[in-house]
Structure 1
Amino acid sequence: MTEHFGMNKPNWLIPAAAITALLLVILFALGILGGASKTPPGNTPPNAASLPAGAQTLQVAKQAADNVLSWQGIVQSRLSAKIAPKLNARIVEIAVRPGDSVKKGDIIARLDDRDLRAAYQAASAAHVAAQAQAGQASADEKRMLGLYEKQAATTQAYEAALAQAKAARATAAQAASAANQSKVMLGENVLYAPFDGIIGERLQEPGDMGLPNQPIVTLHKPDDLRLEAAIASQCAAAIKLGMTVGVRLEAPRQILTATVDEIAPEIDPQTRTQGVKVKLPKVEGVRQGQFGWLELACLAEQQALLIPVTAIVQYGQLQAVKVLEGQGLTTRHIRAGKQYGSRIEVLSGLREGETILISGAASLPGDGGQLP
């Protein structure tokens, strides 16, 4: 009996030892055991960088800022045209491609002129025949006049010859007009550039059927561009012809000063917007069809926390500033808003009255900035 009890003793000691070891591991992980060299709870201040000699600082304060709104628009040429034929004819040649520069009078396209040439020849033949009949009728009129003066012809015969001559001359004039019209239409088989410009789109190809009012190519002037946008009616009321506004472009990325060039007289009843066109300055890289934003302050001024753009340090997609705390600088991540020239609005991350570094911030080493 004693030997049997001794053999079963390890069966309960092994689980007890395992449970004890597990409890010790948990206590060490929680920091309950392990000595007095543990980090106390709370925030540990980062190592602050010292303020560079001659550095410029700024005490942040709220300032008056225009409530600028942005309205998306499209860059369009002031002078543009859709080159289309005036008649039904097969397209036999298109001499230009998109991006080609053309001068006024350059050939754009040629149409099949066989039907036009046949119509012109028929009209010319009809004109010749009508002229011959008019000549014969005039000769008969002159002969009848001589007989009438000699009282060898009756008044009725003379008046009939006179009427026939007038009708023949009218028919000849009508035939001449038809021949001239056919000649003009024959000249319409060649399409010319109406002004100096650049080919925008090529909408048809040789072999297609040219139809009236169906463009073959588009043409525009690349050096006379405007931004066309639709502005809310309550904002458009403050716009006047000739006033200057800001235009923001993505490509090239810049803000331009434009002049209001045209204001639509009516308001769209569905969108409650009014069309505005502003003349853009000549800037390299701006092209027709690209998007832009018309920036306009149409509401009352607001108080905003503004700082210089030079004070912002980029960390990838994040923005931060160097804040003076005591005698050192720490990094503070911020969320920026609208930009007003050389100043930018801070939406969060800074408080009014704090002091920031506004020059040389980007050259300082990182200091493990804290989130606001």
Structure 2
Amino acid sequence: MQRKSRLLGLRTGLCLAATWMLLGGCDKIEPGAFSAVEKAPFTPAQTAVAQVQEIDQWYEAVGTVRPKTETRIEARVTGQVLDVRVSPGDPVSKGALLVTLDNRQMTSRLDQARQALKTAEAGREQARHALDAARAGFKQAQANYNRIKTYVESQAATAQDLEMAESNFRQAQAGVQQAEEGLAGAEAGILQARAVVNESAISIEYTRILAPEDGVVLQRFVEPGDLALPGKPIVALRTTGALRMEAYVREGLITRVAPGASLTVHIETLDRLVAATVEEIVPYADPDSRTFLVKAAMPVVEGLYPGMFAKLRIPVGRQRIVTIPWSAVRRVGQLELVHVQAGDGWQTRHVKSGVRLEDAVEILSGLDGTETIGWEVTDNG
């Protein structure tokens, strides 16, 4: 009696399992397997014949969308950040104030430089007066020397008088030369002082960081209170609206890419394909990844921003595939089912889909491209 009960339970379990598999609850049905002809009459709302077509095969090189022209503005002087006028996403015009640095130290240096310039100018005036006096003394000594020389020739003066006059003449001549050198030194001092004044004034101008071109703020790297240093980025600007895709292409496919080639970029976030033109191929392979950096220009697309993930599609050949309308596939859990015409009736067939092609879908297995497919309007879910 117990043995009959166990057999009855086993038969019941097998029947339930078979029924569950036919209803699509089993993931182990092989693609292309047939169920029995529909017991309930199936009248499709629409029908279509499976198509065999050739499509391009792609290698998708992952990369990043970047601005075509990105400017990183750096500080030219050391100073504490007092104010940051912009935030990421803000449009700016050429000459607009972006960041203000503390300029008190530069202002103090400018005042000192201006005072040094005044001192140098006063020294130049003194040197000019000294030169005028030296030249006057030289003329007097020269006239006295010439007069004594005439007296000596007429024996109205002694040789000793001539030596003294010549000595005074030579000293006056040296004094003029010394005064001229002093004036030249004063002039050089003025030039140096003016250079310091100009440098100090420029340093003050550098504390007001302006936009070099019209653009959009991409990033700001400082906040009020930070210390700005030469060479340290402060703000990043996109100076044009153009974007480009930078992708790394493996070395085995780099011969399929050339400057000027028209390719497509897949933006997964937007679920869009965007046209791109190869602008540059960096002629150096990364020794670790064995890839080349490829840069392709892209048009302005609404919703597309620098830094977004993208894939550069590189054609590698063509492939024959079977396609049917996307709405013809009925999905039950993880199963994909289609209604296939068989004689006067319809059968339910398990298929496996691939890439969606607009209103159609690729069928990887279960169909050979000759079948007539039927579906109800609500079958696509």
Taking structure 2 as the reference length, what is the TM-score of the superposition? Answer: 0.76
Percent identity, aligned pairs only, is 28
Match of 1:45 in 2: 37
Q: 8 Å contact 1:324–1:354 — kept in the other structure?
A: no
Match of 2:138 in 1: 148
**Partner-residue secondary structure (3-state), 2:287:** coil
Q: 8 Å contact 2:72–2:235 — kept in the other structure?
A: yes
- Closer, same or farther: CA 113–30 of 1 in aligned 2, 3 Å: closer
Q: 8 Å contact 1:313–1:362 — kept in the other structure?
A: no
Using the alignment, how far apart are the partners of 1:325 and 1:208 within structure 2?
77
Matched, 1:324 2:349: no
Aligned-pair CA distance for 1:285 = 0.3
Aligned-pair CA distance for 1:253 = 1.3
Matched, 1:354 2:346: no
Using the alignment, how far apart are the partners of 2:116 and 2:362 within structure 1?
80
Report the AA paired with residue 349 of structure 1. G
Matched, 1:226 2:244: yes
Match of 1:5 in 2: none
Q: 8 Å contact 1:245–1:258 — kept in the other structure?
A: yes
**Partner-residue secondary structure (3-state), 1:56:** strand
Match of 2:234 in 1: 216
Using the alignment, how far apart are the partners of 2:220 and 2:133 within structure 1?
64
Aligned-pair CA distance for 1:319 = 4.8
Match of 1:179 in 2: 197
**Partner-residue secondary structure (3-state), 1:66:** strand
Using the alignment, how far apart are the partners of 2:55 and 2:127 within structure 1?
89
- Report how many aligned residue pairs link the two structures: 331
Q: 8 Å contact 1:77–1:288 — kept in the other structure?
A: yes
Using the alignment, how far apart are the partners of 2:233 and 2:128 within structure 1?
49
Match of 2:124 in 1: 134
- Closer, same or farther: CA 310–168 of 1 in aligned 2, 3 Å: same
Report the AA paired with residue 48 of structure 2. Q
Report the AA paired with residue 127 of structure 1. L
Match of 1:26 in 2: 6
Match of 1:85 in 2: 75
Structure 1: tracts of 5 or more residues without a match: 1-19, 33-38, 367-372
Using the alignment, how far apart are the partners of 1:221 and 1:332 within structure 2?
57
Aligned match for 1:283, one of 296, 301, 316: 301
- The structure where helix makes up a greater share of residues is 2
Q: 8 Å contact 2:327–2:379 — kept in the other structure?
A: no
Report the AA paired with residue 49 of structure 1. F
Taking structure 1 as the reference length, what is the TM-score of the superposition? Answer: 0.78
Q: 8 Å contact 2:341–2:372 — kept in the other structure?
A: yes
Using the alignment, how far apart are the partners of 2:364 and 2:237 within structure 1?
46
Structure 2: tracts of 5 or more residues without a match: 13-18, 23-33, 144-168
Matched, 1:56 2:48: yes
Aligned-pair CA distance for 1:363 = 1.1
Matching of residues 95-174 of structure 1 within 5 Å: 95-150=85-140, 151=142, 154-174=172-192
- Deviating more after overlay: 275-284 vs 76-85: 76-85
- Closer, same or farther: CA 326–142 of 1 in aligned 2, 3 Å: farther
**Partner-residue secondary structure (3-state), 2:62:** strand
- Closer, same or farther: CA 139–320 of 1 in aligned 2, 3 Å: farther
Aligned-pair CA distance for 1:338 = 4.4
Using the alignment, how far apart are the partners of 2:175 and 2:229 within structure 1?
52
Aligned-pair CA distance for 1:179 = 0.7
Using the alignment, how far apart are the partners of 1:274 and 1:116 within structure 2?
47
Using the alignment, how far apart are the partners of 2:375 and 2:136 within structure 1?
113
Match of 1:334 in 2: 351
- Closer, same or farther: CA 30–188 of 1 in aligned 2, 3 Å: closer
Using the alignment, how far apart are the partners of 2:274 and 2:378 within structure 1?
33
CA deviation profile, 1:255-310 (whole Å, cap 9, x unmatched): 1111112221222223221111111111100011110000101x3x2533242564
**Partner-residue secondary structure (3-state), 2:225:** coil
Using the alignment, how far apart are the partners of 1:134 and 1:320 within structure 2?
101
Match of 1:267 in 2: 285
The alignment yields a C-alpha RMSD, in angstroms, of 3.0
